[in-house]
């Protein structure tokens, strides 16, 4: 799978990468970096959460243990770099008098306890990352300079990392707030060799999730600067089409889907009737719909039962719903499961009932292990991902259709076997190489024709 990406120095930038936090986003970022490494890119992963150095070290060790990071040094953090050697900070800092700010400050100290820099704590403002409040840079026990807000701090770090590169620097930005800050006007100007390839991970509209539905303020703000990125990557053709229908073709965008994992044979022994969900217990995932569908389903398929993997604030409420519907004995809340291999091996069918997604990794995982998928036809992901087979779509929010489709898959073993084979074949088509070929096209366009940004 080598040589699928252009020759460049690759950086993959996320806000944070914490074990068992942020759901599929974290896993998708780490998997993409591994796929990029297999494609010959050798990316360096970057995060910008302050934390404490020892916390980041334990995270690195845990990711290596889980096989999602090649080595600890492959993941770097802005504040760890500042603690270890603040020379790049001081070189980028403005030495003029430091402007006053209305916000309190948080000190970032090194291993000796000496302050390296101070961050403005901008509370109650969802656009805190765009503040112009100065980041204070310290030398020998006193503030000696400043950088203009978080945007100036992030750009100073990226410039320091890019300084020694002898070829184009491709920054794969995995977080909208960080991307906004990088292309905002101001100093220091981002190194002109840096190309920003901005990924997307989520549905951009609110309920009722139509192409022209309202967007929240964060997405509205992001779309005003999206044309400044050298390439924007959407996970599905459906979302790309809806965006272009809404804003026109002012954004240079490409479709780069998540790849389907290609697991080793897990020795699957599906338990007949076992319906599996793998997601957080939050309203967006509509676990209550699966429980209601199960209650209807068990009138004709007594072997049907539901195992829910994941945790969240709705657990008690969902347990009560199962009891109220008389199916408490057929619903098992497994809680968080870092290792889901047994869940997949024993699953008869996987169900997805979310209100919206970006491109759910769990659907790809199900296809890869040959577990048929029954999913609401919601934006975005299921329709595109199941186009090659392996599952059934039902009308969004139609609990009766969800129940009847689950009954069909569970009750017709020949159909279940056919969907299993289709899913494995589809997953083989949607592998990492296919994803990296699509990404290579986007990166080549970004290198050859950069977007217009202030200072470039």
pLDDT in tens, 181-196: 999 999 999 999 999 9
Distance CA 260, CA 391 (A): 15
Residue 265: inside a domain: no
Q: Which residue range(s) make up the domain with 124?
A: 95-146
Same domain? 310 vs 370 = yes
Q: What is the pLDDT of residues 354-380, one digit of tens each?
A: 999 999 999 999 999 999 999 999 999
pLDDT tens, position by position, 238-258 = 999 999 999 999 999 999 999
Q: What is the largest CA-CA distance in the chain?
A: 76
d(CA 10, CA 301): 52
Q: In DSSP terms, which residues pair with 118 in a beta bridge?
A: 107, 136
Q: Indicate whether 160 and 105 sit together in one domain.
A: no
Same domain assignment for residues 183 and 254: yes
Residue 244 is assigned to a structural domain of this protein = yes
| Full DSSP string of 39-55 | TT---EEEE-----HHH
Give the model's pLDDT for residue 52: 72
Task: Check whether residue 241 and residue 375 sit in a common domain.
Answer: no
Residues 49, 186, single domain; the answer is: yes
The total of structural domains in the chain comes to: 3
pLDDT one-digit tens code per residue, 74-92: 999 999 999 999 999 999 9
> At a CB cut-off of 8 Å and minimum separation 6, what does 43 contact?
10, 11, 12, 33, 36, 37, 74, 172
Per DSSP, the chain holds a count of helices (H) and strands (E) of 16, 17
The per-residue b/e assignment along 255-279, b for 16 or more CB within 10 angstroms, e otherwise, is bbbbbbbeeeeeeeebeebbbbbbb
Q: Does the residue 87 lie in any domain? A: no
Domain contains 89: no
1 domain-assigned = no
Residue 54 has pLDDT above 90, yes or no: no
For the packed helices 399-411 and 413-429, what is the interaxial angle rounded to 10 degrees? 100
Interval 39-63 mean pLDDT: 91
Residue 42 vs residue 263, higher pLDDT: 42
Distance (Å, rounded) from C-alpha 393 to C-alpha 375? 5
Inside any domain, residue 245: yes
* Residues 288, 417 share a domain: yes
Confidence (pTM):
0.94
Contact (Cβ atoms closer than 8 angstroms) between residue 112 and residue 159 = no
Instruction: Please indicate, yes or no, whether residues 42 and 185 belong to a single structural domain of this protein.
Output: yes
Q: Are residues 325 and 348 in the same domain?
A: yes
For residue 360, tell me if it sits in a domain. yes
Same domain for 341 and 378, yes or no, is: yes
Dig out the tokens for 205 from the structure: 């509209």
Q: Is residue 456 part of a domain?
A: no
Q: Who's near 403: CB < 8 A, 6+ residues apart?
A: 292, 293, 294, 296, 297
Same domain assignment for residues 287 and 183: no
> What does the alpha-carbon distance between residue 161 and residue 147 come to, in Å, rounded to a whole number?
17
| Mean pLDDT value of segment 259-276 | 86
- d(C-alpha 324, C-alpha 452), whole Å: 58
Question: Which has the closest alpha carbon to 52: 104, 116, 132?
Answer: 116
Asked whether residue 132 falls in the same domain as residue 205, the answer is: no
Is 208 found in the same domain as 191? yes
User: Tens digits of per-residue pLDDT, 137-185?
Assistant: 999 999 999 999 999 999 999 999 999 888 999 999 999 999 999 999 9
CATH code for the domain in which residue 236 is found: 3.40.50.2000
pLDDT above 60 for 423: yes
């Amino acid at each position: 799978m080598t040589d699928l990406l252009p020759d460049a120095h690759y950086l993959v930038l996320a806000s944070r990468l914490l074990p068992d936090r942020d759901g599929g986003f974290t896993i998708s970022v780490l998997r993409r970096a591994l796929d990029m490494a297999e494609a010959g890119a050798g990316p360096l992963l970057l995060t910008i959460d302050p934390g404490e150095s020892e916390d980041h070290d334990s995270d690195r060790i845990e990711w290596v243990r889980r096989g999602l990071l090649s080595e600890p040094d492959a993941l770097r953090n802005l504040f760890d770099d500042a603690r270890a050697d603040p020379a790049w900070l001081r070189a980028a800092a403005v030495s003029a008098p430091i402007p006053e700010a209305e916000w309190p400050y948080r000190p970032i100290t090194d291993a000796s306890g000496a302050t390296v820099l101070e961050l403005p704590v901008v509370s109650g403002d969802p656009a805190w990352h765009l503040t112009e409040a100065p980041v204070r840079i310290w030398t020998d026990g006193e503030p000696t300079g400043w950088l203009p807000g978080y945007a100036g701090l992030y750009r100073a770090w990226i410039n320091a990392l890019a300084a020694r590169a002898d070829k184009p620097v491709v920054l794969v930005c995995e977080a909208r707030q960080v991307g906004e800050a990088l292309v905002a006007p101001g100093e220091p100007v981002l190194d002109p060799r840096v190309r920003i390839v901005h990924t997307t991970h989520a549905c951009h509209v609110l309920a009722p999730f139509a192409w022209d539905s309202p967007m929240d303020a964060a997405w509205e703000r992001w779309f005003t600067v999206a044309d400044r990125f050298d390439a924007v990557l959407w996970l599905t053709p459906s979302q790309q089409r809806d965006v272009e229908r809404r804003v026109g073709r002012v954004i240079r965008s490409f479709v780069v889907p998540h790849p389907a994992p290609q697991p080793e044979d897990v020795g699957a022994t599906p338990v007949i009737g076992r319906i599996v969900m793998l997601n957080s217990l939050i309203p967006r995932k509509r676990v209550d719909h699966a429980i209601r569908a199960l209650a209807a389903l068990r009138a004709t398929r007594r072997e049907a039962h539901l195992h829910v993997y994941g945790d969240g604030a709705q657990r008690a409420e969902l347990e009560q719903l199962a009891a109220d519907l008389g199916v408490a004995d057929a619903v098992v809340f497994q809680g968080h499961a870092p290792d889901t291999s047994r869940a997949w091996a024993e699953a008869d069918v996987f169900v997805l009932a979310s209100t919206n997604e970006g491109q759910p990794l769990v659907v790809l995982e199900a296809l890869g292990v040959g577990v048929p998928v029954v999913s609401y036809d919601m934006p975005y992901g299921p329709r595109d991902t199941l186009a090659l087979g392996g599952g059934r779509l039902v009308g969004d929010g139609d609990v009766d259709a969800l129940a009847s489709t689950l009954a069909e898959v569970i009750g017709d073993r020949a159909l279940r076997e056919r969907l299993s084979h289709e899913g494995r074949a589809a997953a083989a088509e949607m592998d990492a190489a296919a994803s990296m070929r699509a990404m290579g096209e986007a990166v080549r366009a970004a290198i050859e024709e950069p977007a217009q940004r202030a200072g470039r």
